Amino acid sequence: MITLTVKRSRIGPVLGRHPWVFSQALAKIPDGIPPGEPVRLVSEAGEFLASGYFNSYSQIAVRIWGYEKDEAVDTSFFRRRIECAWRIRKEYIESPSTNAYRMVNGENDLLPGLIVDKYADYLVAQFHTRGIESWKNEIVNALETVVRPEGIYERSDMPARKQENLGSSRGILSGAVPERIIIRENGCQFFVDVKHGQKTGFFLDQRDKREACMKYAKEKNVLNCFSYTGGFTVYALAGGARHVTSVDTSESALELAQENVVLNGFDPGRCEFLCGDVKRFLRNSKERSDVIILDPPAFIKDHRKKKEGIVGYRGINEMAIRLLPEEGVLITCSCSAHLTIEDFRYLLSEAGGKAGRSLRFLEAYTHGIDHPQLVPFTEGSYLKCFIVCANSKTS
């Protein structure tokens, strides 16, 4: 195992257990280290600090995955990490009513660059970095041993792989995986297209927010914007919504949303599905909705687009607020990592001011239990959800 020395002036984050070590924090990086090569990190005094894998000669040189001095890296290494991650989910999430969740959340489960989502008896894996990609066979073997799934499917087709000089990779890694999987989530059921859907097929990180929306939906008219395959739509109906309108640009996603409504035994007559641009819909709509849900894709892909993204978020929130009746409820989300929760709160207050409405927080959410976050790893924070109540223009 290669030993790399961390400069005394840059040792703080490693001691604080931040999972990334930047190239400038290392005293020297030998030539020719392949991505994925296990490394030991030591202080200038030679004291062991952590272990990880060498990722690249660019900004993030090492990604940390352990703190045991002489831990061998093999299939059993990955098995131990996966067992630890799965225990948390099995204890706090898995139940007769829920069988889908994120099982491995990258750095936060000491497996940097690896995402594994569990959909019923199947797994979907994403390999985000060149380093973790080099251990794919060992990871698949460990997943088979620990979870014993019916099949494992790879969805390593995310844009982040381009930054690692990796191409897109998708397909069966183990067993067999059907075109659609039926999952249970808090008693609701959903068809999930893990092979062609967004991300790994379903937005598992919104489970607790979907459940929260139920209490606001009873006997209400609900507008679900950026509805995808109808996650919030189904929960709103389960909460007793009078009518739910779902808007999305994807015709195939809306078709699956309609199927999910029927799958849960709800009357499709209580729903309307509109294929089109959400911003244009909000701008032109004259109908008020008691509850409006905004769950858009990330408007800020990188820090250079932050100002432009803030304008976009502020715009859709202002338009939604204008469509709310007195004491109407807005459930608004952002999955942009480059937008802090403070920035999101500020732009929302600006949107309320422009719409002439005072907003009050009812609830606020970030990550769910199956998306745990290492305390020092602020770069891993991305999801924010505010549930607010809009006062009338005169109050």
Catalytic residues: 335
Indicate the DSSP class of residue 168: -
Residue pair 344/317 in contact (Cβ under 8 Å)? The answer is: no
The two beta strands, 291-294 and 328-334, are: parallel
Cβ of 204: how many Cβ atoms within 10 Å? Answer: 23
Nearest to 235 by CA among 320, 317, 293: 293
Q: Could you give the CA distance from residue 379 to residue 80 in angstroms, rounded to a whole number?
A: 25
3-state secondary structure of 250: coil
Q: Could you give the CA distance from residue 252 to residue 263 in angstroms, rounded to a whole number?
A: 16
Question: DSSP secondary structure string, 327-388?
Answer: TEEEEEEE--TTS-HHHHHHHHHHHHHHTT--EEEEEEE---TTS---TT-GGG---EEEEE
